[in-house]
Amino acid sequence: MTNKKIVIAGGTGFIGTALAAYFGNENTITILTRNTNKPDNNTYGLTTQPTNQCKYVEWNGKDPGEWCKEIDGCDIVINLTGKSVNCRYNNKNKQEILNSRVNATLAIGHAIQQVVVPPKLWLNASSATIYRHATDQPQDEYNGEIQDDFSVQVCKKWEEAFFSQRTAFTRKIALRAAITLGVGGVLMPYLHLAKFGLGGYQGNGKQMYSWVHINDVCRCIAFFWQHTNLEGVFNISSPNPVTNKYFMQSLCAAIGQKFAIPAFTWVLKAGAAIIGTETELLLKSRWVLPTKLLQNGFTFQYPQLNDAIENIVASLPRKAISIF
């Protein structure tokens, strides 16, 4: 995919920064962000930053403004906007988590409807956590069961806002992404635990862990652009999910750590309360399969967890994986 104009809303996070770096050399990238004063702020520990073909444009994630001009004539819009779910689910945070996602989606939809030349493709983030806690069978786009806990409701309303937008000339795809692994992002806290011998399984370790390598997320974007018949919801997840116990064992093995203390449920609940987060992020069983991707011919560069982790660890400085 070359010579395209790509607009990434909420593009300063882990996935957005990785997408900008992946596509930036041969495409023009515009990142919509709330803070243009520090566009190079790298809070995710990424080793590859966007190129000089990447520019930052301010928006507030809900109101029309000068940023709408960036939508006019672009090829792809990727919306990743949303408050982090790594927080306590009190009423204030719940409202911000929901509103930040829905408002940004509605704002982009309105902009697409108003421009002269609308984008050909609109990719909107969702999450594989839309499916229920599953220990009995995998969930896919056809048979996945959607229930009513808070995280699921957020995803449902997010997707409802997305698909409610009338964009006759713009294809729409919702990205139900699994936990995304790469240099930076969610993997780094796991590595810190493993490095200090705390990389045992969480809870009973039997909960399923659906994951995807960041390179395959980037490759999915190109795949969706190339296959103009595709639209709707897609699970962005490796075809080989593992248990939490297997995930932690693989991580420890990759960094040569043989000592790993497990974290039982009661410990996680106490710790989550102290650091201001939720145990759901660790204990929910996410068993998701990318059925539609596979049916349409997508091949994963990293279908197996061990290969994915080895690739990521090889890119890290020694101090990230060893205390010596």
Domains of the chain: 5-186+210-237+289-302 (3.40.50.720)
> pLDDT > 70: what percent of the chain?
88
Q: What pLDDT, on a 0 to 100 scale, did the predictor assign at position 43?
A: 36
Decide if 291 contacts 142 (C-beta within 8 A): yes
Decide if 283 contacts 267 (C-beta within 8 A): no
Residues 196 and 199: their CA atoms lie apart, in Å, by 8
Residue 48 scores a pLDDT above 50: no
The average pLDDT across 214-222 equals 98
Better pLDDT: 193 or 173: 173
Q: What pLDDT, on a 0 to 100 scale, did the predictor assign at position 273?
A: 59
Distances 176 to 43, 275, 313 between C-alpha atoms, Å: 24, 27, 25
Question: What does R_g of the chain's alpha carbons equal in angstroms?
Answer: 19
The average pLDDT across 90-110 equals 94
Better pLDDT: 48 or 179: 179
pLDDT tens sequence across 117-163:
999 999 999 999 999 989 999 999 999 998 778 888 999 999 999 99
Taking the CB of residue 65, how many other CB atoms lie within 10 A of it? 14
Model confidence band, residue 278 (pLDDT cutoffs 50, 70, 90): low
Residues 54 and 23: their CA atoms lie apart, in Å, by 10
Model confidence band, residue 52 (pLDDT cutoffs 50, 70, 90): low
**How many residues are given for the chain?**
324
Residue 41 scores a pLDDT above 60: no
Model confidence band, residue 196 (pLDDT cutoffs 50, 70, 90): confident
Model confidence band, residue 284 (pLDDT cutoffs 50, 70, 90): confident
Residues 311 and 105: their CA atoms lie apart, in Å, by 34
Angle at 216 between CA 211 and CA 193, to 5 degrees: 40
Residue 39 scores a pLDDT above 60: no
The average pLDDT across 187-204 equals 84
Residues 210 and 180: their CA atoms lie apart, in Å, by 9
The average pLDDT across 164-191 equals 92
The average pLDDT across 202-224 equals 95
The average pLDDT across 231-237 equals 98
Taking each helix axis from N to C terminus, what angle separates 244-254 and 305-314, rounded to the nearest 10 degrees? 40
Residue 298 scores a pLDDT above 80: yes
Residues 31 and 282: their CA atoms lie apart, in Å, by 30
Residues facing residue 212 across a β-bridge: 180
Model confidence band, residue 270 (pLDDT cutoffs 50, 70, 90): low
The average pLDDT across 185-196 equals 84
Residues 197 and 324: their CA atoms lie apart, in Å, by 13
Q: What's this model's pTM, rounded to 2 decimal places?
A: 0.90
Taking the CB of residue 275, how many other CB atoms lie within 10 A of it? 9
**Mean pLDDT across the chain:** 88
Q: What pLDDT, on a 0 to 100 scale, did the predictor assign at position 195?
A: 83
The average pLDDT across 65-93 equals 92
Residues 109 and 131: their CA atoms lie apart, in Å, by 25
Residue 292 scores a pLDDT above 80: yes
Residue 45 scores a pLDDT above 50: no
Residue 180 scores a pLDDT above 60: yes
The average pLDDT across 171-190 equals 92
